Amino acid sequence: MPSSNGSQPAAPTVAIVGAGFGGIGMGIELRRAGIDAFTIVGRADGIGGV
Ligand SMILES: Cc1cc2nc3c(=O)[nH]c(=O)nc-3n(C[C@H](O)[C@H](O)[C@H](O)COP(=O)(O)OP(=O)(O)OC[C@H]3O[C@@H](n4cnc5c(N)ncnc54)[C@H](O)[C@@H]3O)c2cc1C
């Protein structure tokens, strides 16, 4: 959606908390939507959850 001054809005920058199933899936869907400006942060040393 264009911003109020008619220009295209800047792409969002997204922070995803948790590198488990949901967080990784969110990253995949953001990429599919053309949004590459995201960071996944996790509590554990690697990816995965439960
Ligand atoms: C034994 C077992 C078998 C399963 N088998 C299946 C199956 O066959 N098919 C299926 O569909 N589902 C299965 N599930 C369920 C599935 O694993 C969960 O539904 C799914 O992992 C939940 O995803 P989630 O992203 O909500 O949580 P999680 O995958 O648990 O990810 C949460 C992430 O957030 C991080 N985190 C937590 N707190 C913080 C914090 N404060 N700051 C930063 N990071 C944080 C954790 O370290 C973790 O990486 C199984 C679950 C179990 C326990």
Report the nearest atom of ligand 1 relative to the CA of 20.
31
Mutation probe of ligand 1 site: the residue of 16, 21, 41, 47 with most atoms within 8 A of C-beta: 21
Could you report the per-residue pLDDT of 1-50, keeping only the tens digit for each? 556 677 887 778 999 999 999 999 999 999 999 999 999 999 999 999 88
By the 10 Å C-beta count (0-12 exposed, 13-18 middle, 19+ buried), 5 is classed as exposed
Report the nearest atom of ligand 1 relative to the CA of 48.
49
| Calpha distance 50→48 (Å, rounded) | 7
Please, are residues 37 and 15 in contact by the beta-carbon 8 Å criterion? no
Residue 22: C-alpha distances to residues 3, 5, 16, 29, 31 (Å): 30, 36, 9, 10, 14
Please, are residues 39 and 15 in contact by the beta-carbon 8 Å criterion? yes
